[in-house]
């Protein structure tokens, strides 16, 4: 638990560091540089000619602060009056935050045509990010001059007006784009890892989390203006059904993931039944909304979402009380998101104001939740993953051993020996140290197989290799070269010493008969020894050792023969 807390604190610190490093800079202008006033919706004439006329000025009602909120389908006129001179030398820009689903038409002093801004469509301003609608003020503003702005909004998120130098606008755009890249990358990585968990652990429940995160990625991409370059994607992004379908899909997928992650059908069947009903309702809303969305659809969907949030809280609290670590992980990951959703729903339902910080908080809490869940995966499945890695390591070592060591005798296989020989030859040439090789063959091995059977013959080879292997020095190597033929590699050993070692090993083999299945088998071996010559390749060394072995065979077997002819007979 303490480790989890430390990990979550690290994630929170990471997000905070990203916010400080990439967050938009503060406005250069003081908050009261503009005085806002709103033309009431009940004024019959809402044309731009009337809004700018002298007759309309007394009808505007002053609005405190710099924030605007537009409700309903009717476009509203706002008058933004400069409270002091705005110098044109800094290229001042009129900036309206949170532009998603909001169309802006601005009339500056002296304009004969208004400046239009929208995040998508023909009025989209691709020279700036989706952080704000930006209208240049090339002449600046004198104190008392006004800019008249008509806003049509399908969003309940509050926007703020400010006047910012062009250089600062670009700086904010850069910071905003870096931050969004972080959000989208983090969520995309967690989504891909969720798919990996689903496949590797054979747990399809993680696919629901991947679906949840991927819909959030698409939502953030739409709100960030990533689809505005392509007309077809722009049409999808601005269709009022798109956001509703994405949000409903995200909630439905997250409900199914929650039931899987906490195993609610088994541990909390009543909560599971509630969430199953909510899933059925959300599925129905999702299917119907593909064709039509009514004004009450969003309201009804939000009510279901509140029920889901309440059920999630109950399920997590009960599971935490039962000391289930996955419940703590889930609650820590989703508590900030659920809080933001509740505040957002309440603002849309007019239970309290629509706070401007909601537009900034939402991507943060979604990203935080995804990263905490990723951390939770590594904790919850750490034992499984570590066990899998250990098993993989054991399998790899076992496969390596099978490739390097003969299964019957335990000696090196021929490919492994050839690698060891090449390395030893290169080292001997480099250091001018002596190196010897000795071929060994079981005398009359075919007769042993014919008389006693191949099982006894295999046991003879195993015992020969064991008796020799037990007497080898640290750097010596024994290889089963093929059939009953073996080869010894003796580093740092001159020929005379190698022949004494070979005879010592032969004596160890023939010291006593082999007792196999109640039968005593007399076994003898022959050896041929050769020493590496200067600049000689490994293959020539083996040829001369093999030739010495055949000399032992021709000399009557049961003896050791050196490459230059001397023999050590039994």
Q: pLDDT tens-digit profile of 224-281?
A: 888 888 888 888 888 888 888 888 898 888 888 888 888 899 999 999 999 999 999 8
CA distance 484 to 270: 72
Question: Is the model's pLDDT at 336 over the cut of 80?
Answer: yes
Instruction: Note the pLDDT of residue 59.
Output: 95
Contact between 556 and 526 under an 8 Å Cβ cutoff? The reply is: no
* CA atoms 119, 240, 354, 212: torsion sign: negative
Model confidence at 570, in pLDDT bands (50, 70, 90)? very low
Instruction: Note the pLDDT of residue 398.
Output: 60
Residues sharing a CB contact under 8 Å with residue 112, sequence separation 6 or more, in sequence order: none
Instruction: Note the pLDDT of residue 26.
Output: 40
CA distance 487 to 240: 80
More confident call, 357 vs 313: 313
Q: Which of 96-100, 490-494, 518-522, 561-565 has the least mean pLDDT?
A: 561-565
Instruction: Note the pLDDT of residue 352.
Output: 72
Contact between 127 and 228 under an 8 Å Cβ cutoff? The reply is: no
Q: What is the rounded average pLDDT for all residues in the chain?
A: 84
Question: Is the model's pLDDT at 171 over the cut of 90?
Answer: yes
pLDDT tens, 407-424? Answer: 888 888 888 889 899 999
Model confidence at 2, in pLDDT bands (50, 70, 90)? very low
Determine phi and psi for 464, rounding to 5 degrees.
-55, -50
- Enter the tokens of residue 104: 């802006």
Contact between 530 and 521 under an 8 Å Cβ cutoff? The reply is: no
Instruction: Note the pLDDT of residue 545.
Output: 94
Task: Calculate what percentage of the chain has a pLDDT beyond 70.
Answer: 86
Instruction: Note the pLDDT of residue 16.
Output: 46
Model confidence at 403, in pLDDT bands (50, 70, 90)? low
Contact between 217 and 194 under an 8 Å Cβ cutoff? The reply is: no
Question: Is the model's pLDDT at 3 over the cut of 70?
Answer: no
Q: What is the largest CA-CA distance in the chain?
A: 130
Which secondary structure element, helix H or strand E, spans residue 520, and what is its range? Answer: strand 519-521
Question: Is the model's pLDDT at 436 over the cut of 90?
Answer: yes
> Average pLDDT, stretch 110-118?
92
Determine phi and psi for 304, rounding to 5 degrees.
-60, -40
More confident call, 352 vs 443: 443
Instruction: Note the pLDDT of residue 428.
Output: 93
Instruction: Note the pLDDT of residue 20.
Output: 43
Q: Which of 32-36, 114-118, 225-229, 372-376 has the least mean pLDDT?
A: 372-376
């Amino acid at each position: 638990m303490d480790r989890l807390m430390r990990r979550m604190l690290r994630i929170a610190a990471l997000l905070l560091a990203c916010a400080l490093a990439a967050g938009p800079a503060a406005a250069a202008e003081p908050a009261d540089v503009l005085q806002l006033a709103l033309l009431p919706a009940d004024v019959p004439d809402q044309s731009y000619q009337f809004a700018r006329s002298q007759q309309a000025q007394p009808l505007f009602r002053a609005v405190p602060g710099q924030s605007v909120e537009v409700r309903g389908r009717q476009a509203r006129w706002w008058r933004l009056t400069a409270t002091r001179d705005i110098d044109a030398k800094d290229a001042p820009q009129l900036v309206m935050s949170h532009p998603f689903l909001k169309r802006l038409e601005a009339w500056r002093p002296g304009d004969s045509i208004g400046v239009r801004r929208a995040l998508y469509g023909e009025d989209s301003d691709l020279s700036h990010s989706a952080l704000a609608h930006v209208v240049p003020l090339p002449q600046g503003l004198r104190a008392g001059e006004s800019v008249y702005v008509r806003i049509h909004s399908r969003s309940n998120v509050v926007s703020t007006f400010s006047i910012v130098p062009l250089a600062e606008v670009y700086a904010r755009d850069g910071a905003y784009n870096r931050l969004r890249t972080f959000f989208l990358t983090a969520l995309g990585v967690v989504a891909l890892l969720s798919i990996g968990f689903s496949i590797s652990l054979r747990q399809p429940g993680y696919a629901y989390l991947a679906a949840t995160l991927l819909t959030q990625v698409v939502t953030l991409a739409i709100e960030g203006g990533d689809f505005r370059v392509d007309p077809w994607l722009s049409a999808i992004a601005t269709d009022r059904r798109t956001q509703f379908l994405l949000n409903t899909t995200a909630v439905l997928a997250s409900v199914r993931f929650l039931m899987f992650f906490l195993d609610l059908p088994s541990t909390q069947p009543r909560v599971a039944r509630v969430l199953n009903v909510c899933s059925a309702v959300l599925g129905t809303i999702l299917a119907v909304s593909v064709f039509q969305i009514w004004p009450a659809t969003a309201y009804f969907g939000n009510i279901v979402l509140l029920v889901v949030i309440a059920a999630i809280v109950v399920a997590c609290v009960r599971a935490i009380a039962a000391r289930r670590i996955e419940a703590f992980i889930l609650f820590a990951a989703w508590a900030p998101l659920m809080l933001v959703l509740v505040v957002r729903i309440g603002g849309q339902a007019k239970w309290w104001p629509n706070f401007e910080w909601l537009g900034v908080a939402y991507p943060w809490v979604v990203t935080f939740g995804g990263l905490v869940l990723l951390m939770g995966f590594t904790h919850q499945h750490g034992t499984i993953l570590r066990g899998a890695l250990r098993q993989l390591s054991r399998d790899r070592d076992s496969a390596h051993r099978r490739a390097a060591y003969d299964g019957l005798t335990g000696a090196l296989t021929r490919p492994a020996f050839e690698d060891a020989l090449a390395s030893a030859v290169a080292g001997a040439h480099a250091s001018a140290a002596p190196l010897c090789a000795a071929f060994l063959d079981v005398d009359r091995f075919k007769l042993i197989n014919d008389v006693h059977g191949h099982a006894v013959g295999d046991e003879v080879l195993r015992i020969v290799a064991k008796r020799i292997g037990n007497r080898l020095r640290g750097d010596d190597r024994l290889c089963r070269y093929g059939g009953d033929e073996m080869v010894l590699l003796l580093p740092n050993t001159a020929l005379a010493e190698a022949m004494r070692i070979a005879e010592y090993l032969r004596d160890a083999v023939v010291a006593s008969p082999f007792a196999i299945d109640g039968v005593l088998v007399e076994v003898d071996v022959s050896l041929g020894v050769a020493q590496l010559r200067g600049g000689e390749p490994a293959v020539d060394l083996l040829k001369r050792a093999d030739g010495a072995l055949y000399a032992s065979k021709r000399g009557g077997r049961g003896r050791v023969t050196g490459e230059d002819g001397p023999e050590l007979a039994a």
